Amino acid sequence: MPVDEQPLRLNKHLALQLGISRREADNLISQSKVTINGKPAVLGARFIIGDKIIVDGRPLVADVAYQYLAFNKPIGYVCSRRQQGESPTIYDLIPLKYHHLKPVGRLDRDSSGIILLSNDGDFAFTMTHPKFAKTKIYNVKLDHDLAPLHQQMISDYGVNLEDGNSLLQLERANETSRSDWIVTMKEGRNRQIRRTFAALGYTVTALHRTNFGNYSVSDIKPGEFEIVNIH
């Protein structure tokens, strides 16, 4: 059978075209929002190249390839397409041809470091869902020295926050300071590191993410990016 006549999985195709996970694609299909050649698609459906696929009244564009960027977010930028107040967005620093890519996880405006962007919904899902426990590493600076008792509390028992216990792995960034720390975590709740230290009376004055899963900010300069291969 010619390549262009081989049946292809619809949910995988939707995930690629729309930058969503296959589970989200299946939801669109089950909600009767997808048609193939004018007929409602069903879960598990396949199609061949040349079929007309419409999602929510809009036809899909063919032949979109997966793309992955590692971006070093500077302080002061938000991880959204729309400007929030006077804060610019990361898309102000990224070439227009990559504006269809979505952030994989986020960093708040006052944080810096590695952000991944992609149109691969499955990749985004595996990088951010708690069940995959992707390791994230941060350089954190506090407004004053962390007491040894608080260090033990955070590392061994965790700190109770309104959305659950927060357990972080702490390592001193150097031998002379107790306000500079390397924080390792496998969660990713909103402003979790900042809220954990704040619960004990500390303010995070600088937060920089150096690693996200297998990816490192490495020598990427602030405001710049590099194309990466997933691994």
Domain limits at 145?
135-212
pLDDT at residue number 92:
94
* 108 is annotated as an active-site residue: yes
As for how many domains the chain has, the answer is 3
Name the catalytic one among 26, 51, 108, 110. 108
Task: Assess if residue 190 is contained within a domain.
Answer: yes
- The 10s digit of each residue's pLDDT in 180-230 is 999 999 987 889 999 999 999 999 999 999 999 999 998 999 999 999 987
Task: Assess if residue 217 is contained within a domain.
Answer: no
Domain boundary residue, one of 59, 78, 93: 59
The CATH code of the domain that includes 76 is: 3.30.70.580
The CATH code of the domain that includes 24 is: 3.10.290.10
pLDDT at residue number 167:
95
pLDDT at residue number 2:
44
The CATH code of the domain that includes 157 is: 3.30.70.1560
pLDDT at residue number 231:
60
pLDDT band at 64 (very low <50, low <70, confident <90, very high): low
Burial 186-223 (b: 16+ CB within 10 A, else e): eebeeebbbbbbebeebebebbbbbbbbebbbeebeee
